Amino acid sequence: MAPFAASASPAALSYGFLRRRPSPICRFSATFFLPLPSATLDQSRRLSAVWPTPLRSRRGSSSSLPAMASEKALASKGKQGLLVFDTEEELSVSLAKYAAELSEKFIRERGAFTVVISGGSLVKSLRKLTESPYLETVEWAKWHIFWVDERVVPKDHEDSNYKLAFDGFLSKVPIPPGQVCAINDALSAPGAAEDYETALKHLVNIGVVVKSATGYPRFDLMLLGMGPDGHIASLFPSHPLLNVTDKWVAFIKDSPKPPPERITFTLPVINSSSYVAMVVAGAGKAGVVGKALGNEKTADLLPVEMISLEDGELTWFADNAAVSMLPDKPSL
C-alpha cells in the first residue's frame, strides 16, 4: 500500500483539503495543547487473559503482552480474542501498549495510522497513551483521528464526543490538528452525516484512509465502547440503522441514549476495520458481555454481536467486573 504522495505529508494533504472546501470537517477548534504529563507506566500489572493467536504470532517474542496473556487462557478462536484484567487501570495500560504497537506497525507499513474512537468511557481508558513512554515514542504526527459516532451538538457542548476526546486525550498528544476529523457542528444531523462521508471519500481517494475489498473505508484501528444495552457507535438494538449498507455515515434523530441527534458510522464500515478493540469495564456491562460472548446464541442479535470483521481482528478488553456473567469457556 502506498497511500501518500511522496511529496506531501499527511498533514499537508489534510490542510490542502481544508483550503479547498468551504465547509471542512477535518478541522480543530482548539489552537493549543495542554501541558504534557510525565507519569510513568506501572510495569507491575497483572493480567489474566487470552490473546488472539494471529496477532500474537505477528508480535513475536519481544512483546511482553503475549507472555503475560498466556497466564490464564480463557478461550480464543479465529480473529477474536478476549483480554481480561483485574482492574480497569490494568486494562488501560494494556490498551495503550496495543494501540502503540499497532501504530508502529501501520506507520512502518504505510506511513500513517487511522484511528477511530467512540465517546463514553473509552476515552478515559486511553489515558495511559498520553503518558510516558508512549507520549514520547508514538509517532503522533502520523495519526489521523475519526469518530465512530458523534452527537450533533456544538464542539464545546458537554455532550460532544469531540470535547470529551479533546479534554481527555487529544489535548495531551501532538496529533496535527488538520488530522483530527471532527463533525461540522454548524450542520443539521443529515447534513453533518453527508459532510463527514464526503470528507471520508476524499481521504480514501488521496489514500489517507484505505479502501476495503468491498468498497468501504478500512480503518487501521477502531477503539470502541459498548453501552449496557449492547449498542456500539450510535447503532442501537433493533434500530433500522443497523441495516444500512448504502452509506458510510448515517444520521439518527431518535437515539434512545441522549442526546437524540447523532451521526454514526454504519455497520459495514465498522466491519471493514483492520483491528477493533472493544473496551468494556464495570459490572454494568456484564449482562451484555455474558450474552455476546456466552454460548447461548439467540436470534435477536445485539449491535455488538453484529460485529463480524471482513478481514480483521476483534479484541475485547474487559475488566473482571465486565466478565462476571461470562461462562468459563466463552464463545469466541
Distance (Å, rounded) from C-alpha 115 to C-alpha 313?
A: 14
State whether residue 211 is helix, strand or coil. strand
Specify the DSSP element, H or E, that contains 198: helix 189-205
| Residue 261 near ligand 6PG by CB under 6 A | no
Per CB under 6 A, 227 contacts ligand 6PG: yes
Q: How far is CA 144 from CA 71, 209, 323, in A?
A: 34, 9, 32
Does 53 help bind ligand 6PG (rule: CB under 6 A)?
Answer: no
Contacting ligand 6PG (CB under 6 A), which of 3, 111, 119, 268? 119
Nearer to ligand 6PG, 27 or 231 (CB): 231
* Nearer to ligand 6PG among residue 128 and residue 231 (C-beta): 231
The whole-angstrom separation of Cα 278 and Cα 58 is 20
State yes or no: residue 177 binds ligand 6PG (CB under 6 A). no
- Applying CB under 6 A, among 52, 225, 303, 330 the residue interacting with ligand 6PG is 225
Applying CB under 6 A, the span of 23-31, 224-232, 243-251, 302-310 interacting with ligand 6PG comes to 224-232
Q: Does residue number 212 form part of the binding site for ligand 6PG (CB under 6 A)?
A: no
Alpha-carbon distance of 175 to 172, in angstroms, equals 9
Of 161, 160, 150, residue with least CA distance to 126: 161
Task: Of 246, 227, 251, give the one whose Cα is nearest residue 149.
Answer: 251
Q: Is 250 exposed, middle or buried (0-12, 13-18, 19+ CB in 10 A)?
A: buried
Nearer to ligand 6PG, 136 or 156 (CB): 156
Chain-centroid distance of CA 126 in Å reads 10
Nearer to ligand 6PG, 178 or 227 (CB): 227
CA 97, distance to chain mean position in Å, is 14
By C-alpha distance, which of 161, 179, 274 is closest to 217? 274
Stretch that binds ligand 6PG, among 48-56, 197-205, 225-233, 269-277 (CB under 6 A): 225-233
Q: Of residues 88, 131, 149, 194, which one binds ligand 6PG by CB under 6 A?
A: 149
Q: Does 304 bind ligand 6PG (CB under 6 A)?
A: no
Contact status: 92 vs ligand 6PG (CB under 6 A):
no
Does residue number 242 form part of the binding site for ligand 6PG (CB under 6 A)?
no
**Total residues binding ligand 6PG (CB under 6 A):** 15
Cβ proximity to ligand 6PG: between 13 and 193 the closer is: 193
Q: Which is nearer to ligand 6PG, 3 or 303 (CB)?
A: 303
Pairing relation of β-strands 149-151 and 262-265? antiparallel
120 versus 207: smaller Cβ distance to ligand 6PG: 120
Preceding peptide of 133 cis, ω within 30°: yes
Query: Is residue 257 within the footprint of ligand 6PG (CB under 6 A)?
Result: yes
State the nearest-atom distance from the C-beta of 120 to ligand 6PG, in Å: 2
The reply to whether 230 sits near ligand 6PG by the rule CB under 6 A is: no
What stretch of H or E contains 104? helix 88-110
Q: What burial letters (b/e) apply to 174-200, b meaning 16+ CB within 10 Å? A: ebbbbbbbbbbbebebeebbbbbbbbb
Is 319 one of the binding residues for ligand 6PG (CB under 6 A)? no
Summarize as ranges the residues that interact with ligand 6PG (CB under 6 A): 118-122, 149, 151, 161, 225-227, 231-233, 257
